């Protein structure tokens, strides 16, 4: 049963989970009573990073052209993510024009990269106060509490 407290999960935690990082596993375990949320930015970042990691299992260095040329070798990442988000009962939050406008202001105010600004704006728009992340930049955002283990 979920306490229904919503916690946004950044790509750093999800990628860490799939990479077997114990701290990422601990973070997700500690949130088992919460409703975990992501947006399309996080989905895209995680899918891409997992494809890169799979590519590097077979190759010495990353080359985007080679990944794109052999993309069919890496599309299983989508099924892995489908199963993960289903089992974790993740809520997908939509980014609309209001979120994008807010992201611009947040990006400027807190000196964030574009994807981080979109994540912070998504949290603000949906009233989410907690974020599970290993990205130190979110500690500068005064309306977010970074989940600590």
> Within a domain: residue 82?
yes
> Within a domain: residue 1?
no
pLDDT computed for residue 84 by the predictor: 96
Cα–Cα distance for residue pair 104/96, rounded to 1 Å = 13
> Within a domain: residue 16?
yes
Cα–Cα distance for residue pair 122/118, rounded to 1 Å = 6
> Within a domain: residue 65?
yes
> Within a domain: residue 53?
yes
> Within a domain: residue 51?
yes
Q: Are strands 91-93 and 130-132 parallel, antiparallel or unpaired?
A: unpaired
> Within a domain: residue 102?
yes
Query: Which tens digits make up the pLDDT trace of 86-128?
Result: 999 899 999 999 999 999 999 999 999 999 999 999 999 999 9
Beta strands in the chain (DSSP E): 6-9, 35-39, 91-93, 130-132, 145-146
Task: Quote the domain boundaries for residue 25.
Answer: 6-146
CB distance 23 to 149 below 8 Å: yes
Q: How sure is the predictor about 137, in pLDDT bands with cuts at 50, 70 and 90?
A: very high
Domain count of the fold of the chain: 1
pLDDT computed for residue 149 by the predictor: 72
**Strand arrangement, sheet containing 145-146:** 91-93, 35-39, 6-9, 130-132, 145-146
Query: Which tens digits make up the pLDDT trace of 30-89?
Result: 999 999 999 999 999 999 999 999 999 999 999 999 999 999 999 999 999 999 999 998
Mean pLDDT within 1-29: 92
pLDDT computed for residue 1 by the predictor: 46
pLDDT computed for residue 6 by the predictor: 97
User: Residue 3: is its pLDDT beyond 60?
Assistant: no
The residues with which 132 forms a beta bridge, in sequence order, are 9
Cα–Cα distance for residue pair 61/58, rounded to 1 Å = 9
Q: What is the CATH number of the domain that holds 54?
A: 3.40.50.1010
pLDDT computed for residue 4 by the predictor: 84
Q: Which helix (H) or strand (E) holds 109?
A: helix 97-110
pLDDT computed for residue 33 by the predictor: 93
> Within a domain: residue 105?
yes
């Amino acid at each position: 049963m979920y306490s229904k407290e919503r916690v946004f999960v950044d790509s750093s935690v999800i990628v860490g989970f799939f990479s077997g990082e114990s701290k990422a596993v601990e973070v997700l375990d500690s949130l088992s009573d919460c409703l975990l949320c992501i947006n399309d930015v996080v989905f895209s970042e995680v899918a891409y990073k997992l494809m890169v990691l799979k590519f590097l299992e077979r190759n010495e260095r990353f080359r985007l052209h080679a990944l794109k040329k052999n993309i069919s070798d890496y599309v299983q990442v989508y099924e892995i993510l489908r199963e993960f988000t289903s089992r974790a009962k993740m809520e997908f939050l939509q980014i609309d024009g209001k979120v994008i406008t807010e992201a611009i202001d947040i990006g400027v105010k807190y000196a964030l990269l574009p994807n981080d600004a979109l994540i912070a704006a998504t949290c603000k728009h949906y009233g989410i106060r907690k974020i599970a992340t290993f990205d130190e930049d979110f500690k500068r955002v005064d309306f977010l509490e970074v989940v600590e283990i």
